[in-house]
Amino acid sequence: MTVIGVLALQGDVREHTDALAACGVTTVPVRRERELRSVDGLVIPGGESTTMSRLLDVFELYKPLRAALADGLPAYGSCAGMILLASTILDTRDDARHLDALDVTVRRNAFGRQVESFEADLDFAGITDRPDADPLRAVFIRAPWVESAGPDTTILATVPGGPAAGRIVAVRQNDVLATSFHPEVTGDLRVHQYFVDMVKEGTAS
């Protein structure tokens, strides 16, 4: 049985939990180290990244989570989750924490404020390049983008047009996945299924 946790400190916890359950896996909320130790993979949801980083300390999860990621725990971060997983964050508070699980530089709120939220159809490597696949509808809400990615990081999706054309919005490095956008709000389960398959491949090996 595959068990995937959702970091349940703040943000889109219920939406990710529902999407993962629809993909056929057992889900648990993660707020404590003992819960973290029980999961095969972890989703870090969208929300407010600086608040979430502070709460990681409050719940004594920051060091255990960093250690688990360094030890190979599969993880998926959407929006704020991408920010937390990055090795470098631009335009954030000086005291903001990050988890160094992805060799990327992320710019926080790169697309602008809430009123500048938008949707776009994306090509997503490993999902939309399959035969007869539809584009992936992506919802960006005060979203970050990846300013630069290290040599071991695979770029999975970029913005197709407009002023932000070419900006990186989905990446993977080993068993860590991140998106700038919120697939948990669209009803399209393909990104969650992609992560579930990553986790299952890891536990089978």
Task: Between 95 and 136, name the one with better pLDDT.
Answer: 136
Q: What does the chain come to in residues?
A: 205
The pLDDT of residue 97 is 81
Q: Percent of the chain beyond pLDDT 90? A: 78
Per-residue pLDDT averaged across 84-106, rounded?
90
* Average pLDDT over the chain, rounded to an integer: 93
- Residue 9: partners with Cβ closer than 8 Å, 6 or more residues away: 31, 47, 52, 55, 56, 59, 61
Per-residue pLDDT averaged across 18-30, rounded?
97
138-167 pLDDT, tens digit per residue, is: 999 889 999 999 999 999 999 998 888 999
The pLDDT of residue 167 is 95
The pLDDT of residue 144 is 93
Predicted TM-score of the model (pTM) = 0.94
Where does 3-204 sit in CATH, by number? 3.40.50.880
Task: Examine the pLDDT at 114 and tell me if it is beyond 60.
Answer: no
Q: How confident is the model at residue 115 (pLDDT cuts 50, 70, 90)?
A: very low
Per-residue pLDDT averaged across 111-130, rounded?
84
Classify 47 as helix, strand or coil.
coil
Task: Examine the pLDDT at 101 and tell me if it is beyond 50.
Answer: yes
- The DSSP string of 96-164 is ------EEEEEETTTT-SGGG-EEEEE--TTTTTSTTPPPEEEEESS--EEEEE-TTPEEEEE--SSTT
Residues catalogued as catalytic: 79, 182, 184
